[in-house]
């Protein structure tokens, strides 16, 4: 069994144990994911957020907008899984099993983080690039004039603010 596949399976099967381990050994409280515990795939989201240093609320928002938490989702354009990774991006990220929740979330999170870095921390442009491609965002020097992309960015940002608030509220309540 190849090690990437093993790691993905291990994370899927033992996400809670891994999350607990990371929280304890990272100096965080065990309650570090209290805000997302009731969200589908929260263990995988939290682990990917720690590995790739990205806000779990943003990852959750992208998943919500892309697939509505359906890990076997397929778009009309052939993008697959929770974060709707298209075949070229799947090859670029070396995703073996696009339907494995942890592998998909980790790869999508890694790609989103790369886009955020490529656009100098501009989350809006990174989201536009996630949807329309980084070349298109560069071509238009901003969000492309595509209705789909403009709606997508607004949708993800609305989800992001909702999840961010609920994560903060849950953390304060714990």
How buried is 172 (Cβ within 10 angstroms: 0-12 exposed, 13-18 middle, 19+ buried)? Answer: exposed
Question: Which member of 44, 66, 103, 114 is catalytic?
Answer: 66
Helix axes 101-118, 42-52, angle to 10 degrees: 40
Comparing C-alpha atoms, which of 55, 56, 58, 79 is closest to residue 67? 79
Name residues whose C-beta falls within 8 Å of residue 107's C-beta, 6 or more positions apart in sequence. Answer: 83, 85, 89, 90, 93, 95
Decide if 66 is catalytic. Answer: yes
Whole-number Cα distances in Å, 166 to 60, 93, 162: 12, 31, 6
Please identify every residue annotated as catalytic.
66
């Amino acid at each position: 069994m190849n090690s990437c596949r093993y790691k993905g399976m291990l994370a899927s099967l033992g996400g809670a144990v891994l999350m607990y381990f990371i929280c304890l050994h990272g100096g965080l409280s065990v309650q570090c994911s209290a805000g997302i515990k009731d969200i589908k795939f929260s263990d995988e989201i939290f682990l990917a957020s720690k590995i790739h240093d990205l806000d779990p609320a943003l990852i959750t928002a992208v998943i919500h907008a892309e697939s509505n938490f359906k890990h076997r989702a397929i778009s009309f354009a052939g993008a697959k899984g929770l974060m709707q990774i298209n075949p070229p991006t799947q090859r670029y990220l070396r995703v073996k099993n696009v339907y494995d929740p942890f592998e998909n979330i980790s790869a999508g999170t890694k790609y989103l983080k790369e886009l955020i870095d490529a656009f100098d921390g501009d989350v809006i442009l990174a989201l536009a690039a996630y949807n329309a491609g980084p070349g298109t965002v560069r071509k238009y020097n901003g969000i492309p004039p595509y209705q789909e992309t403009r709606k997508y960015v607004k949708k993800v940002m609305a989800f992001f603010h909702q999840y961010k608030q609920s994560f903060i509220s849950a953390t304060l309540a714990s």
